A and B are shown apart, each in its own frame.
Chain A
Amino acid sequence: SQKIEQNSEALNIQEGKTATLTCNYTNYSPAYLQWYRQDPGRGPVFLLLIRENEKEKRKERLKVTFDTTLKQSLFHITASQPADSATYLCALGKQAGTALIFGKGTTLSVSS
């Protein structure tokens, strides 16, 4: 069955460092991959979308890579801040007409 794994349930880093979160998948061929941020008691908020023919996308301090050979996406937050502390979810999608499938998420804690 299809499976999405996010590298760890929790990641703790110091302010100013780069946070790197991993999303691996098996038995799936996504057309695109999305990353979301979720704060406690709130719904997920969209951050970045990357398609299967794209290697890298950037948005401000965020960078996402997508390697369809390794079946892996890396999500980087540079110059991390305590306000970046949240749970980050990766989600896979096929062509239009199908729903996103989410991983369990990684909870990032940035300490000052």
Chain B
Amino acid sequence: GAGVSQTPSNKVTEKGKYVELRCDPISGHTALYWYRQSLGQGPEFLIYFQGTGAADDSGLPNDRFFAVRPEGSVSTLKIQRTERGDSAVYLCASSLRSDQPLHFGNGTRLTVT
């Protein structure tokens, strides 16, 4: 595709439920990132993939958060036992290499009620 695609664009879930957020990066981009952005804040780093492996997952807030990229392209961010504090916009970005500019999707707005 022409850009990074994230689905769904909006997700409303109840506290305690499990959610999956999907990211389709730009074809050929080996680096993929997940960030979380709350209102009035900058993007907060969660996890970075280089190919299929997680090169840095130091930003994941706790063990309820997990992400995979099994074939080195599409990635899924998984959140278990969602909490109201997880409500935010989850942004995905990809780049040719990790020191190159990031191409962001428009995010998934997650609302936990």
Residues of A within 8 A of B (CB): 4, 9, 31-32, 34, 36, 41-46, 49, 89, 91, 93, 95-105
Contacts and interface: CB of A to CB of B under 8 A. Distances in A.
Given A96-B97, A96-B99, A98-B56, A45 B104 contact: yes
A44 B93 CA distance: 9
Interface stretch (B36-44, B63-71, B76-84): B36-44
A98 B98 contact: yes
B99 A95 contact: yes
A43 B55 contact: no
Interface residues of B, number: 26
A43 B91 contact: yes
B40 A99 contact: no
A72 to B, nearest CB: 17
B103 interface: yes
